[in-house]
Structure 1
Amino acid sequence: MISGDFNDPTSSVSNVTQAFHFSSGNPRIEETRGVMHLYRDDIGSSSSELPVGRKTLVCVLGVPNHMTYADFCQFCGSFIQHMLEMRIVRNDGVEDKYSVLIRFDDQSSTDAFYKHFNGKRFSSLEAEASHVLFTVDVQYTGSIEHAQTSPASSTEQPTCPVCLERLDQDTSGILTTICNHSFHCSCISKWTDSSCPVCRYCQQQSEKSICFVCQTSENLWICVLCGFVGCGRYKEGHAITHWKETQHCYSLELETQRVWDYAGDNYVHRLIQSKTDGKLVELNHHCAHVDDGCGSCNCSVDPGFSEAVLNSKVETIVNEYSDLLTSQLENQKIYFEALLREIEEETAREMSEAVDKAVSGNQKLQKMQTKLDKCVKEKKFLDELNENLLKNQEIWKAKMVEIEAREKKALKVKDIKIRELEEQLRDLMVCLELGCTETEVGSTTNNAS
């Protein structure tokens, strides 16, 4: 735990320090109280004037409650690998904020953390900034936990409740929450919930087992291989249905704690827990000396012999159960391997069908592309033909205009000639008429003479 060697509050160091009383833990179970001695604000206010005699222990004051442990670890994430231990504490009289005591692996990391985070805002959307002070010492008062802690303690090292690995601060930083539960910093930084996982687990009420299908709570059996809870044959028979679907033939009756073999249709559990003293006894056990008139299990034979016999039976049963479990696991392995092969075959078939569809689609695409190219060529040919026809149309229009003009001119010339001929014909007719008249006059004159 975070602690120091500052034992004399009347020493010269006390002139440059300030004391903060803190507490952590649940007051109804175990509360840890203490005093942390921090350098004053005016000591080391400049980054170039760090306190003389400082240690690798700092305190971040005034962290807002809405900032979870994961958020704080993310806030100071660039220095997590240099932190040996962090402890969340509550300052007396401050309810909406908490403080964090941090111990680093060396002094350079401590100074770099102080220079980087002192006065830095927790978020760009908030005005609150972090207040980092070097810590002289932390003294715990009235705590059984810290009173018994010593460097020479030979107790077993605790484990992280999240990853179940040892809480070794030399390999990974340790974070102790406000409720005195310790975790790896890397584990708690991934915990998105603001509550402590240990406290939440302890406060959870045990749920009553029910059938996974019909939700009944009577005559329940649990599969010893996969944990499926189903009702027995005297209800809806969902446990038997589970056996038929999965071939998990061993099921434990929750009320009597006996194991039933569906394949052999009998009980295979040899040991049960006695309801009187809680000891393990053999199912359907009878006294070995019943023929001698004992008639009860409290016979006066040698207790060492009885214990040896019981140990031998237990060892035999354990071996039998190990072989049985091995065979069942092998059967389950074969069963699931068969399922896996079926899934692989189905996947391969679907992939083959998808490839065939893709190939056929590609062929169709090629055909459509060929048709499109052909249509494009035809369109280009028709466009050229249309352009040539338009040019020819203009030429023929000019020729038609020229022909029409020639025809009009010819008709005009023809009309002129016709008029001239008509005039000549008229003159001729006049001449002819005049000639005939003169002839008639001459003949008349001759006749008269």
Structure 2
Amino acid sequence: MTSTSLSTGIARASSEEVSRSPSVIVPGEPSESSSSSNMTQAFPFSSGNPRIEETIGVMHLFREDIVSTSAYGLPVERKPLICVLGVPNHMTYADFCQFCGSFIQHILEMRIVRNDGKEDSYSILIKFDSQVSADNFYKHYNGRSFSSLEAEVCRVLFTMDVQFTGSIERAQASAASSTEQPSCPVCLERLDQDTSGILTTMCNHSFHCSCISNWTDSSCPVCRYCQQQAEKSTCFVCQTTENLWICVICGFVGCGRYKAGHAIIHWKETQHCYSLELETQRVWDYVGDNYVHRLIQSKTDGKLVELNSHCLHAESGCGSCNSEDNAISEAILNSKVEAIVSEYNELLATQLEDQKLYFETLLQEVKEETEREISKSVEKAVTLKLHKIQLKLDRCIKEKKFLDELNENLLKNEEIWKAKQLEFEQREKKVLKLKDVKIQDLEEQLRDLMVCLETGKTVRQLSASNEVEDGTVLPMSTESSSTDGC
């Protein structure tokens, strides 16, 4: 199959280069290229559907240490052709187109290739319309994470050249795969780099970038070849890939008894007695300890045939069966198939009924256990609440006792203060009574003093008027008794 090349950016090797073996290359690891004066490193790659035709080659990329030590941070002999290494497989074509959406109008062609020795990532060769666009893409996306939720970062390197060293054609190659696609399979328009960028998938089918960006699946829209390789089945416990059995009830994958025996342990724990061997597609019954799968699928026509079937007349030594015998044997085979299907359905129904009872028992046990846990939790919560209430009650009783003692002390103090108040009132009454008596005495003394003063004044007046003659004193009124005290 002739794939779309990357225009002038990809230099195909001549016939001598194709016939000549490339330099020693370790798959999955870069090796130095002697043709670029130790400035580049060679990465082996392949593309195409391995079942039809696979193209292999080597791409020479500038070394990262040369780029970092250059004057301007970019190699001098660079071209508008770069390579994005280590793109994770879970990123589809649409995801990558969305990731570099700001530069999609400057991209002339993109080609997706497979990294030799690495199954979890792929690389993308990108040709830009100018060197400035390639430099800006390198500065913007080199070292940038593909997503904020992932650890993978975008690793961008400038490409010196790409050499296709040969192709491996398979026997199943069809005529349609050997013709070049002149138009996009999605929009049916011609693949023109000047109009829109071209993206070549890993299976060598080309599309417009705007068309493939709407394809959210990781497979090719034409041949359905998926860039993500199918994962190998492993034991869920020990991760081994040999002698694996899968439970037909729940899908548990475990290793056989000749390994660690996790499939048998799963049967003992869950009572899922039917297990399918992944290598032979036969069903094993752990209860009966034998195979119960009596029909297998033919690889030639896909029909169900009996396991270890043989000719009905093999014992008589016939070379081949005639049409009548074939019809009879076919009828017998159909009857056997119907009987086996009926028996298998009955066995399956019985097993499903047993599984139903088993799971109902498990559900009942879980329900009872849940009820017991709930009752224990409720009892514990009630006990804890009662304990808290009892503590609160004890604290209230203690506070009440303290308040009662305080009230009793206050009552005693009230009686004492009442007695003191009564004593103070009586003392005050006595003091007031004594004060009244003293005031009365003072009033009498004041009155006597006034009488005495008036008498003295009268005497002075009489002496001044010469009314006293010969030392005689006129008799006074009854107040003379009080004057004696003056």
Task: Give the TM-score normalised by the residue count of structure 2.
Answer: 0.40
Task: Give the TM-score normalised by the residue count of structure 1.
Answer: 0.43
Greater relative contact order (CA < 8 Å, ≥ 6 in sequence): 2
Q: Which has the larger radius of gyration?
A: 2
